[in-house]
Amino acid sequence: MSVEILSDGGVEERVRVFAALAEPVRLRIVDLVAFGDAAPSELQRHLAISSNLMAHHLGVLTDAGLVARRRSEADRRRSYLQLLPAAVPLLAAALTQPAQTQLRGARRVVFVCTANSARSQLAAALWARASDVPVTSAGTHPAARVAPGAARTARKHGLTLLGDRPQQLDEVTGPDDYVIAVCDNAYEELPAGTTDLHWSVPDPVRVGTAGAFDAAHDDLAARVAHLAPHLSPN
């Protein structure tokens, strides 16, 4: 291997990343948010550590450029920790086996948001293009129609939306579905254990601009690309 290749790999950046991960709790935190977002309090309960220690570890991971916090759109007192997309290639050799074993085969993937008018629709269309696992989408409080901005964004990116109108979650989900909440409101409303993953994606309908819909598409596209190779059909 040449010196040039090592230099191109960002040696200093990788040193910073692996130094941050050279501690069992921090590595477990990264494992736990490898495919979905989690509130610090959820991580704290899972790892059985104090809030002060959790804050310290999250500070180290944030400074290393591995994770970021996003304020919940539902409960503004709550925040969610997200693995940054740029960190994924650096972590390819560092993520431990437990992160992979959290995933399973699925009869179908179901993306859910509140209205089933934008984010879950775009996520399902992206998934259908990326994976052989069947997919659908639904809402906890479905809107009357798909948001026009979502339809325009789908056309712009060559996506085919799977449904003509939003669906009610309770009428869609079944056994062995892999349910992914792409909405803070839906995630926080649903009973614990209803969802398999949570993606804290800002609602583009609230903003209403083309840029907001493009940002939601890009966020969802990166997450789908990361998860799809690890989830197989039942």
Domains present along the chain, CATH in parentheses: 10-101 (1.10.10.10), 108-230 (3.40.50.2300)
* Average pLDDT, 10 consecutive residues per value, the chain (234 residues): 43 84 93 94 96 96 94 94 84 53 77 98 98 97 97 97 93 94 97 95 97 98 94 87
Q: For residue 157, what pLDDT is reported?
A: 97
Q: For residue 17, what pLDDT is reported?
A: 86
d(C-alpha 176, C-alpha 119), whole Å: 22
Q: Is 228:130 a contact under the CB 8 Å cutoff?
A: yes
Q: For residue 55, what pLDDT is reported?
A: 97
Of the candidates 33, 109, 105, the one whose C-alpha atom is nearest the C-alpha of residue 70 is: 33
Q: For residue 13, what pLDDT is reported?
A: 78
State which amino acid sits at residue 167.
Q
| pTM beyond 0.75, yes or no | yes
d(C-alpha 22, C-alpha 94), whole Å: 10
Give just the sign of the alpha carbon dihedral 162, 139, 152, 88: negative
Q: For residue 85, what pLDDT is reported?
A: 82
For the chain, count helices (H), then strands (E). Answer: 12, 6
> What are the φ and ψ backbone dihedral angles of 37, each rounded to 5 degrees?
-85, 155
Q: For residue 86, what pLDDT is reported?
A: 79
